[in-house]
Structure 1
Amino acid sequence: MSISDKDVIFEDNHLIAINKRGGDIVQVDVTGDLSLEDMVKEYLAKKYDKPNAAFLGVIHRLDRPVSGMILFAKTSKALDRMNRLFHDRKVEKTYLAVVREQPPKEADKLVNWLLRDRKKMITKAYNREVKNGSRAELDYRVIGELNGFYLLEVKPLTGRTHQIRAQLAYMGCPIVGDNKYGYQRGSHQRTICLHSRSLGFEHPVKQEATLLKANLPTDGFWEKFNSLL
């Protein structure tokens, strides 16, 4: 596997944004599968003829089955500054999710306490404060309905592991394909219908307002929802 120009959403001297495919891992894990980080390094090395590899910093991550916008730093300065922006919650993250169950409200803020089960590798959501739990908030709105599926715009206000997956499932709306969080069946491609749509932030070097957007996957299912956007 590799990436090409068509996978690149944005690139300048400081940052490169990739439209991640569902199923790709961002960094090497216990599976030993080729990571997106390594693919981007290889892409940059070939593009700029850098046989000793180019610098690449991982700023944030997406779960393996999730597709969409992911941003890497091409310089240590950009990495440090983007890490600070993410830490200070100065990056606006927008996701798109497809669910089968109709949400109870057209738009709402969800507040839960999340507790990570490291043995089962899932995050459990509660409607009350729990010991060692982390408060999690997100806003969602229903964009529209198509053939019995609902397209949601989701804006996480905190950055917790599996936050969107756990909170939507707790609401009674597990993401399509996410059998880990209660959807009735998983995807053959081991992907789920959660897409990192956009990132908005102040450019770490140019100090310019920057909004980057990732197109929906072309997998025979997601494309149908372009009509709602």
Structure 2
Amino acid sequence: MELKILHEDPHLIVCVKPPKIPSQPDPTGDLDMLTILEGHLKKNYPNVKKPYLGLVHRLDRPVGGIMVFAKTKEANAFLSKQLQDKTFVKKYLSVVTGNPEGDSGELRDYLIKLPRVNMSKVVDKDIKGAKEGVLEYKVLGRVVDQEYGTLTLMEILLKTGRHHQIRVQLSNRGWGIWGDNKYNNLFIKKQGWSQIALWSYQLQFIHPKRKKLVTFENYPDVYPFSLFI
């Protein structure tokens, strides 16, 4: 796999995770981003016996896009605190089958994880274990597709980090993500595999050393995102 690094310095690495690659080791044993980057550090810094690499955040395995990894414990703690304080900005692009109401809005739902089927669902806030999920969205474009009808390109600002949050909240409104065979009814029974149209395209945070705001972006150029270029 060709590693795409957007930025690297002594404190962090910003790279693009391809779809279908796990963020970290999982029971499948498939090659993951953490292991790939550890190999990168060992190759490029042979004099460092045990290079540090910290997983700051995760992306679901089917989802592609930008991730940041810490190269020091101090950087990891600094970035993780921004996640906790909700000052770490994560924006996604998604193509959905449907026509969202208006051109922008906020979604608030209570979600519960279903470990047995590796899914989540929207529930009443009084359900034991339910956690609030919040996101904001903007509509960036709409096209009409012969097979799926209206397709809408959305920018998603994730305010909380719940399991499958974007996929669950959008599908609950009838805006299932294109290619999502877990939550979009148009794809659940579809034969063959399709790549989910959800991409982490922007990260914004305070740099752990320079203490200045930095922004990194990466745009997908594959179908169905290519319909909106």
**Aligned position for 1:24:** 21
> Whole-Å Cα distance in 1 between the matches of residues 186 and 214 of structure 2?
38
User: Could you list the runs of 5+ residues in structure 1 that have no partner in the other structure?
Assistant: none
Could you tell me how far 1:39 is from its partner in structure 2? Answer: 0.6
Alignment-mate amino acid for residue 111 of structure 2 = L
**Aligned position for 1:173:** 175
Could you tell me how far 1:163 is from its partner in structure 2? Answer: 0.7
The answer to whether 1:135 aligns with 2:132 is yes
Identity %: 32
Could you tell me how far 1:144 is from its partner in structure 2? Answer: 0.4
Could you tell me how far 1:205 is from its partner in structure 2? Answer: 1.6
Could you tell me how far 1:44 is from its partner in structure 2? Answer: 2.0
- C-alpha distance 77-51 of structure 1, shift in aligned 2 (>3 A): closer
**Aligned position for 2:147:** none
Could you tell me how far 1:19 is from its partner in structure 2? Answer: 1.0
Work out which of the residue numbers 81, 96, 120 in structure 2 matches 1:99: 96
Kindly report which structure 2 residues correspond to 1:60-75, keeping only aligned pairs within 5 A, or say none: 60-75=57-72
> Whole-Å Cα distance in 1 between the matches of residues 124 and 172 of structure 2?
9
- C-alpha distance 44-20 of structure 1, shift in aligned 2 (>3 A): same
The answer to whether 1:194 aligns with 2:198 is yes
Could you tell me how far 1:42 is from its partner in structure 2? Answer: 0.9
Equivalent position SS for 1:29: coil
- C-alpha distance 37-170 of structure 1, shift in aligned 2 (>3 A): same
> Whole-Å Cα distance in 1 between the matches of residues 201 and 91 of structure 2?
6
**Aligned position for 2:119:** 122
The answer to whether 1:111 aligns with 2:108 is yes
Give the aligned CA root-mean-square deviation in angstroms. 1.9
Equivalent position SS for 2:129: coil
- C-alpha distance 189-114 of structure 1, shift in aligned 2 (>3 A): same
Conserved? CA contact 1:96–1:154, under 8 Å:
yes
Kindly report which structure 2 residues correspond to 1:2-41, keeping only aligned pairs within 5 A, or say none: 2-4=1-3, 7-41=4-38
Could you tell me how far 1:50 is from its partner in structure 2? Answer: 4.7
Deviation string 1:54-98 (CA, Å, 9 cap, x unpaired) is: 211100000000010111001111011111111111111111110
> Whole-Å Cα distance in 2 between the matches of residues 51 and 74 of structure 1?
12
- C-alpha distance 129-143 of structure 1, shift in aligned 2 (>3 A): farther
The answer to whether 1:77 aligns with 2:74 is yes
Deviation string 1:146-176 (CA, Å, 9 cap, x unpaired) is: 3432100011111111111100010111111
Equivalent position SS for 1:70: strand
> Whole-Å Cα distance in 2 between the matches of residues 183 and 51 of structure 1?
50
> Whole-Å Cα distance in 2 between the matches of residues 10 and 19 of structure 1?
10
Q: What TM-score comes out, normalization by structure 1 length?
A: 0.90
Conserved? CA contact 1:26–1:61, under 8 Å:
yes
> Whole-Å Cα distance in 1 between the matches of residues 47 and 179 of structure 2?
40
User: Could you list the runs of 5+ residues in structure 2 that have no partner in the other structure?
Assistant: 145-149
Conserved? CA contact 1:112–1:135, under 8 Å:
yes
> Whole-Å Cα distance in 2 between the matches of residues 126 and 107 of structure 1?
23
> Whole-Å Cα distance in 1 between the matches of residues 52 and 125 of structure 2?
43
